[in-house]
Amino acid sequence: MRRKARYLYIELKKTAGMFPRMLLLAVALMILVGGIAFCGVKAMEREPLAVGADIGVVVREDDRMTRMALDYVENMESAAQICRFRQVSEEEGMNMLADGELAALVLLPEGLVDGIMYGRNPSVDVVFPKNARLEAMLFRELTESGAGLLRVAQAQIYGADDTAARYGLGDELSAVEAGIDGYNLAFALDRLSIYDEETVSATGRLSVAQHYASSGIVLFLLLAGMAAYPVMQPEPAAFRKQLVRAGVGGPWQSLCKWLCGLCYMLLLAAAMLVLLWSVRLCTPEAAERLGELLVSGRRRISAGVCMGMLFLVLTTVTSFHHMIYSVSGSRTGSILFFFPISVAMLYLSGGFVPSALLPQTIRGVGAALPTSCLIRACGGLFTGYGPEAGRLAAQLGMYTAAFGAAAYAAERFRYRRCK
């Protein structure tokens, strides 16, 4: 037992001795990852995101009034934000709709404007594709709300006409209609009042800033394993043999490596918090802005839950590092493994492009990966956890155990082979 304790002590001493070097490597890594993220953000800023729905319009009667009405709709602010109208023939439009090039096809009837002017109400057909995408769904919503508004306005006018005719108020009809028009126009211009306001985000409960901050933290923690090689790479076979001779078996060796890795991660997390604190002291305004961006929509949470979840995140990440080092068996091999595996897992889990925007299959695979869990756990540091905290903690614990078992199995396999 004393030999085991001495081995743990020696390994911890090595970790403490190597920490400054590992921290420097990790900071260099953070600068690299941060640089890539900064470039990505800059690139995204150059191309603002917009929902661009291509809408086909079939004009059966190419007269001046219809064209004016079309121009009017095209230039309406609400339509222009989400729609691009393209005049097409009916056949061409149907083909484009089938190919997914159009979000909807609007078929304008003959005499549309005249019909509206004289109260004939010619119907406008809007064809949507079978598998409506986000753009088509938005356009359908816009169309239905517009149609609803028109129905109400018409009913009001007809009601006013009938009332005026029944009670002999024909002289006042024009004033009443003007009043109804004014009211409806005001209502129509204040378009938002007819919608139920619901914020929908591809990043779920997290804001975009929070989502990318969480993903960045997870990527950094995963890649920080590269810097941990002095303490986490497997011992040389000769050293392991001597340890086994001395009664320090494989499971204890593996556990000691994991503990040293965890110490490194805890020290690294502490160092990063100190760094953030220093930044806050140096540039309080920027820190405040960043804080506002990251902690919006925060639920009431206890610091204990946050610390506990952070600890679980660090244990899971440590186990992941341990597994990679144990499977690869060498420093170079581990470093070669770390980058592609971390980046691929993060991509599949929606760390680079939110999951909601990824294909269904990728989303399914990503949800089963530990990185999804880690992103949610890190996101909770900004927004709180709510009732899912227990489930999340259990998942992280499960991944920690699974990685640990895989690491031990890999070491055992290699040790048998090296004999």
Partner 1 sequence: MITAADVTSSYGRRRVLKGVSFTAARGECVGIVGANGCGKSTLLSILAGTLKPKSGTVAYGGRTAWSGGRTGRIRCDREVIRKMTGYVPQEDPLIPELTVYDNLRLWYPDKRVLRRELSQGFLQLMGIGAFAGTRADRLSGGMKKRVSIGIAMAEAPPILLLDEPSAALDLVCKADIRAYLQTYLERRGTVVITTHEESELALCSKIYVMKDGVLQQADNRLRGEELAKLF
* Residues forming the site for partner 1 (CB under 8 A): 2-3, 6-7, 10, 13-14, 17-18, 230, 235-239, 241-242, 244-247, 419
Considering the complex, what minimum distance in angstroms separates the CB of residue 406 from partner 1? Answer: 25
Considering the complex, what minimum distance in angstroms separates the CB of residue 246 from partner 1? Answer: 6
Considering the complex, what minimum distance in angstroms separates the CB of residue 265 from partner 1? Answer: 18
Considering the complex, what minimum distance in angstroms separates the CB of residue 248 from partner 1? Answer: 9
Task: Pick between residue 160 and residue 244 the one whose CB is nearest to partner 1.
Answer: 244
Considering the complex, what minimum distance in angstroms separates the CB of residue 228 from partner 1? Answer: 13
Task: Pick between residue 7 and residue 128 the one whose CB is nearest to partner 1.
Answer: 7
Task: Pick between residue 311 and residue 415 the one whose CB is nearest to partner 1.
Answer: 415
Task: Pick between residue 107 and residue 244 the one whose CB is nearest to partner 1.
Answer: 244
Considering the complex, what minimum distance in angstroms separates the CB of residue 235 from partner 1? Answer: 8
Task: Pick between residue 89 and residue 242 the one whose CB is nearest to partner 1.
Answer: 242
Considering the complex, what minimum distance in angstroms separates the CB of residue 328 from partner 1? Answer: 19
Instruction: List the one residue out of 323, 327, 311 whose CA is nearest residue 374.
Output: 311
Considering the complex, what minimum distance in angstroms separates the CB of residue 28 from partner 1? Answer: 19
Task: Pick between residue 130 and residue 417 the one whose CB is nearest to partner 1.
Answer: 417
Q: What angle separates helix 208-223 from helix 2-46, to the nearest 10 degrees?
A: 140
Task: Pick between residue 64 and residue 245 the one whose CB is nearest to partner 1.
Answer: 245
Task: Pick between residue 236 and residue 364 the one whose CB is nearest to partner 1.
Answer: 236
Contact 160, 180 (CB under 8 A): yes
- Name the strands in the sheet holding 83-87, side by side, starting at the edge strand that comes first in the sequence: 83-87, 53-59, 104-108, 125-127
Task: Pick between residue 111 and residue 333 the one whose CB is nearest to partner 1.
Answer: 333
Considering the complex, what minimum distance in angstroms separates the CB of residue 18 from partner 1? Answer: 6
Task: Pick between residue 34 and residue 247 the one whose CB is nearest to partner 1.
Answer: 247
**3-class SS letters over the chain:** CHHHHHHHHHHHHHHHHHHHHHHHHHHHHHHHHHHHHHHHHHHHHHCCCCCCEEEEEEECCCCHHHHHHHHHHHHCHHHHHHEEEEECCHHHHHHHHHCCCCCEEEEECCCHHHHHHCCCCCCCEEECCCCCCHHHHHHHHHHHHHHHHHHHHHHHHHHHHHHHHHHCCHHHHHHHHHHHHHHHHHHHHCHHHHCCCCCCCCCCCCCHHHHHHHHHHHHHHHHHHHHHHHHHCCCCHHHHHHHHHCCCCHHHHHHHHHHHHHHHHHHHHHHHHHHHHHHHHHCHHHHHHHHHHHCCCCCCCCHHHHHHHHHHHHHHHHHHHHHHHHHHCCHHHHHHHHHHHHHHHHHHCCCCCCHHHCCHHHHHHHHCCHHHHHHHHHHHHHHCCHHHHHHHHHHHHHHHHHHHHHHHHHHHHHHHHHC
Considering the complex, what minimum distance in angstroms separates the CB of residue 224 from partner 1? Answer: 18
Contact 55, 139 (CB under 8 A): yes
